Structure 1
Amino acid sequence: MRKMELERALNAFHSMKLTQITPPLTQMPILEENSSIINALKILRTRHHVWVVNDRKEMKLVGVIRYFDVFYILMPPKRARLGSISPLFKSIFGGAEKVGEIMERNVLTIEEDATILDALEKMRRYKVGILAVVDEEGRLKGEVSLRLLITEFLRLLRVGGEEWRQHGSSSQ
C-alpha cells in the first residue's frame, strides 16, 4: 500500500463515528450497582473492566470496576489515613457487598457522536485504553478500546483491497 493510500485510509478512519464501530451492549461487561461483588469478580476473570449502571432499564452509567481494582477488593485493608479515602471501603473485609460500594465513580467517557480521532486524542491525553460511550443523558451506549480501534483500522485496510506491509519488515 502506498503512502497516499495509507494516509487516505487513516483520514477515513479518523472521521468515522464511534457509533459505527462500538459493540452491542449485549456483548459488553455490565452490572447494575446493586449486583453482588461476586458477579463482578466472575466477569473480571475474563475481562479487564465492568461498567456499572444504575439499572438495566435506564442504563445510566454510574461507575466502573477495573481488573486491577481486585487488589483492593480481596486484600485486607491498610490503616486509613486522615483526609484520604481508604481502600477499606472498597474491600470485602470492610463490609462491601455490592458493586456500587467498590466501583470507581469517576469514569472517563466520550459522547456517542464523537469520531475515532476524538477517542484517540482523549485516550492519549488521559493514558487510558478504554472509554465508555454515553449519550447526552449519561446513558451507556457502548465502549471504545484501543484493541477495537486497531481491529477496525486493520479491517478498513483489508476492505481497501491491499494489505499494508511495513517497508523493511522481515515478514513477507
Structure 2
Amino acid sequence: MNDVERALQTFYSMKLSDIMPPVISMPIVTLDSPIVDVLKLLRTRHHVWVVSDKESMKLEGVIRYLDVICILLPPENTKARFGNISAIFKSILGGAEKAADVMEHNIMTIDENATVLDALIKMRRYKVQILAIIDEKGTLKGEISLRLLIDEFLRLMKVGGVQWTQHGSSSRSEWH
C-alpha cells in the first residue's frame, strides 16, 4: 500500500466527532427565536440549525440561506404547488414570526459515531454538502460539511508528507 492509499484509508476511517467544530461555533437558534435573529446569522452563514431549546439541543430543523427568498417575498409571489403550500406561510407578510415558522423539517443527519467515509457516501447519495451530527436521542452534537472534509483531507496530506501535483494541461492527477 502506497502513501496515498494509507492516507486515504486514515481519512476514510476518521470519526466525525474528532473533526467536527465545537457546537459553540455553530449557527444555532431555538424554535421561538425571532426571524430577525435568523436573518442576522444568515448574512454570514449558509444555514442555521433550529433546536427545541439550548439546554436539550434537540434538533428540530434547518433554515438555509436560500430560504430567505421565501421569507422576504410577499405570499402572493410564492408559488404554491401541491405539497408545498406551507411555503406561503414562510413569508413574513404571510405571518411567519419565528424560526419554527420558516424552518425545514427534513434534515440530513448522521450519527456522531460515523466516519468520514459514511459522511461522504451520504452526501453523495442525497446531494447535500452539510450534515447535522446527532446522537441516538436526536441531540445536535455538531455538523460536518464538505468544506470541513476538504480541509481535513488537505491537512492530512500535509501532515502525512504526501504531495499532490497536477502535470501539464491534462486532467490526470498524480500523487508523489
TM-score between the two structures when normalised by the length of structure 1: 0.92
Alpha-carbon offset, residue 127 of structure 1: 0.2
Partner of 1:94: 94
Percent of aligned pairs sharing the same letter: 64
Residues 1:39 and 2:72 are matched in the alignment = no
Unpaired segments ≥5 residues, structure 1: none
Distance 1:103 1:42 in 2: 15
Residues 1:108 and 2:83 are matched in the alignment = no
Letter in 1 for 2:19: I
Residues 1:12 and 2:2 are matched in the alignment = no
Alpha-carbon offset, residue 65 of structure 1: 0.1
Alpha-carbon offset, residue 5 of structure 1: 1.1
Does the residue aligned with 2:62 lie in a helix, a strand or coil? strand
Distance 2:98 2:21 in 1: 26
Partner of 1:75: 73
Partner of 2:26: 28
Please identify, of 45-54 and 83-92, the stretch whose mean Cα deviation from structure 2 is larger: 83-92
Partner of 1:149: 149
Alpha-carbon offset, residue 7 of structure 1: 1.4
Change (3 A) 1:26 1:82: closer
Change (3 A) 1:24 1:49: same
Change (3 A) 1:157 1:82: closer
Distance 1:82 1:116 in 2: 37
Change (3 A) 1:82 1:28: closer
User: Any conservation in 1 of the 2:15–2:116 contact (CA below 8 Å)?
Assistant: yes
Partner of 2:121: 121
Alpha-carbon offset, residue 41 of structure 1: 0.3
Partner of 1:54: 52
Letter in 1 for 2:112: E
Letter in 2 for 1:88: I
Letter in 1 for 2:31: E
Once the two structures are superposed, what CA deviation does each residue of 1:55-95 show, in whole Å capped at 9, x if it has no partner? 00000000000000001000012364566424111110111
Letter in 1 for 2:69: F
Does the residue aligned with 1:110 lie in a helix, a strand or coil? strand
Alpha-carbon offset, residue 166 of structure 1: 2.7
Alignment root-mean-square deviation, CA: 1.7
Once the two structures are superposed, what CA deviation does each residue of 1:22-44 show, in whole Å capped at 9, x if it has no partner? 00001100001100000000000
Partner of 1:133: 133
